[in-house]
Amino acid sequence: MWSNKNKKQIGLALFFCLFLGCGSYPEVTSRESLELIKQVYTACNTRDVKRLAECEKQLEKLRLSGKMGTKEVDAFRKSLDLAKNGNWEEAQNQALKFAQDQIR
């Protein structure tokens, strides 16, 4: 059984994670990745297919250069794939959440 002390500790941990920023997106590993989040957001916000394609090229470049890990690539893919499928607003929201989760 959980003691009252353990319950309080678990409750506090959940509070901090849910309300103060245990993000669901990984921390970016380079300045270029941080810049790419902005570019993805802008491409989605403006619904610009050309910008979106440039973001995909930049993502691949960063991945191949080793400046981005698998979790990071997957996080970018989430927004890019949504946009490519016409879900621009959801893609924009995902990109924004990714950016917000960088504030740690």
Q: Is residue 12 part of a domain?
A: no
b vs e for 42-59, b when ≥16 Cβ sit within 10 Å of the residue's Cβ? ebbeeeeeebbeebbebb
Pairwise CA distance, residues 82 & 17, whole Å: 26
Q: Is residue 11 part of a domain?
A: no
Contact predicate 78/24, CB 8 Å = no
Count of domains observed in the chain? 1
Contact predicate 52/83, CB 8 Å = yes
Determine the structural domain holding residue 36 and report its residue range.
24-100
Q: Is residue 29 part of a domain?
A: yes
The residue ranges of the chain whose pLDDT is under 50 are: 2, 7, 11-21
* pTM, full prediction: 0.75
Over residues 55-80, the pLDDT tens digits come to 999 999 999 999 999 999 999 999 99
